[in-house]
Structure 1
Amino acid sequence: MILVLAGTLEGRIVADLLQQAGFSVQVSAVTDYGTDLLTRQGIEHISSGPLDETALRQVLKQGITLLVDATHPFASLASQNAMSAAATVGVPYLRLERLTTAIPSHPLVHDAASLQDCIQKALGLGKVLFSTLGSKNLPALLAAARPAGVRVVARVLPVSEVLHACRELGLTPADLVALQGPCSRELNVALYRQYQAQVVLTKNSGPTGGVEEKIAAALQVGIPIVVWQRPRLHYPLVLHQPTEVVQYCLKNLKTG
């Protein structure tokens, strides 16, 4: 059986393709939302909830012949745990890594090497930050922005647990854009203007994350955008397309 850590669209796609190709697939989703998407896709074996390294080792010992890590490009801890668990148990590890977006060279486009670097650069560029960094990074962003008198507008997933967490952080409905991306350039332009954004914060999460459209919109509006570059990990095997993973499995594993 193949275990897919499906924290991305690509993860859901590869799980579906592998199942269609005749492989037995178990898919791990961290959130109820991810589980619901997989269920609607017709994935037969789904486990919900986060797996630390110890729990993942136990799962891998239950007849898993390949671990496909399709977690988010910025979920570095999840990938590190997956590589370590696979190496300990002796299960082959494969990283499905979406491609990055080429960042244009422009005075309004700023690279950042880490979350803190992204936050500090943004604070120096304006007083209204439009964050698309995700709800998990809001505590650090708000902790730095509030003492500096900087407003944060956060675009987050429109799911109840995320919105509740944002309200617990003190964000009001006026500070929240509950919207699932990716968004078109035109919609990003409208949002930046509606909320009078002075700086945009984003991750370089690749074409699936709509980075190119966010940057194009910021340049159209004429405001700076800070792009947090993804962490660099050393994976034993990396493929970039779900179809490549299926071809690898057809060549190296038995179906069923």
Structure 2
Amino acid sequence: MIGFILGTSEGRKILSLINKYTNDIAVTTATAYGGELLKEFNIKSLNTKPLNKEEMIKWIRINKIKVLVDASHPYAEEVTKNSLECTKALNIPFVRYERLGSLDNINSSNIMRVKNYDEAIKVIKNIHGNILNTTGGNNVTKFLDLDFDYRIIHRILPSPKVLSKIVEDGISIKNIIAMQGPISYDLEKAFIKQYDIKGILTKDSGIEGGVLEKYKAVEDSNIKLIAIERPSFTGTLIFNKEEELVKYLVKEYN
């Protein structure tokens, strides 16, 4: 059986391609919402809860997985680290599908590149105006109690669970936008105008993540795009195109 860790929109395309050849696949996602999006595909085993290292090893063994494909989000470092360690422990091949970034070859004085949230916060404190955080709801507590004279608006998925969590964490309702991305250029521009945004915090989550629309809106508004750099991953089996990944899997493991 082929195992897939899916965490991006490309997962649907990967499954539609692999289903032309086989349904002998097991899939794990981090959320029930992610699993719901895959219900139309022919999958023998679907897990929709986060797995730690021990749980992932058990999942691999139960499903008799012979190759593991990590197609998790480019910034899901812990997931990739755990899945790589699991494949080494079980002596099975590890294959990485990695979405390409969009900002690598763009030079602009409006792009401010940072390595992590700590660096991002230092940059934010020197921006005189409101900030739009588009990096998700998992790190909102980092922005509480800052010595900052302006608002930080958090755009998150429209999930009751995520919304409840960040409100409980102390984020005011007035500083939350709950919306499914990616967001169009026109809508990004509208958010910038509506909330008088002077800087957008983002991850370089690629074309599929809408980062180019953010960049274009930032350029045209002459504000700052604070971009958290992508984690680096080195390995021998890395694919950036769904068709090439599936072609390899079918040839080697079907």
Whether the 8 Å contact between 1:4 and 1:15 is mirrored in structure 2 is: no
Letter in 2 for 1:237: L
Alignment correspondent of 2:128: 126
Q: In the TM superposition, what is the alpha-carbon distance from 1:17 to its structure 2 partner?
A: 2.1
Contiguous gaps of at least 5 residues in structure 1: none
Alignment correspondent of 2:13: 13
Letter in 2 for 1:99: L
Letter in 2 for 1:35: G
Q: In the TM superposition, what is the alpha-carbon distance from 1:141 to its structure 2 partner?
A: 2.6
The SS at the match of 1:22 is coil
What does residue range 24-39 of structure 1 map to in structure 2 within 5 Å? 24-39=24-39
Alignment correspondent of 1:189: 189
Q: In the TM superposition, what is the alpha-carbon distance from 1:98 to its structure 2 partner?
A: 0.6
What does residue range 149-160 of structure 1 map to in structure 2 within 5 Å? 149-160=149-160
Distance in 1 of aligned mates of 2:160 and 2:135: 18
Quote the RMSD (CA, aligned, Å). Answer: 1.5
Alignment correspondent of 2:67: 66
What CA deviation, in whole Å up to 9, does each residue of 1:190-210 have, x standing for no partner? 011111111110000111111
What does residue range 168-183 of structure 1 map to in structure 2 within 5 Å? 168-183=168-183
Alignment correspondent of 1:78: 79
Distance in 2 of aligned mates of 1:41 and 1:216: 35
Contiguous gaps of at least 5 residues in structure 2: none
Runs of 4+ in 1 over 3 A off after TM superposition: 40-44
Whether the 8 Å contact between 2:131 and 2:152 is mirrored in structure 1 is: yes
Whether the 8 Å contact between 1:111 and 1:227 is mirrored in structure 2 is: yes
Percent of aligned pairs with the same residue? 29
Q: In the TM superposition, what is the alpha-carbon distance from 1:149 to its structure 2 partner?
A: 3.4
**Matched length:** 252
What CA deviation, in whole Å up to 9, does each residue of 1:155-192 have, x standing for no partner? 11011111111211222332111111111111100011
The SS at the match of 1:61 is helix
Cα 1:235/1:141, change in 2 over 3 Å: farther
**Between 168-177 and 74-83, the greater mean CA deviation after superposition:** 168-177
What does residue range 102-117 of structure 1 map to in structure 2 within 5 Å? 102-103=103-104, 104-117=106-119
Distance in 2 of aligned mates of 1:91 and 1:111: 36
Whether the 8 Å contact between 1:97 and 1:239 is mirrored in structure 2 is: yes
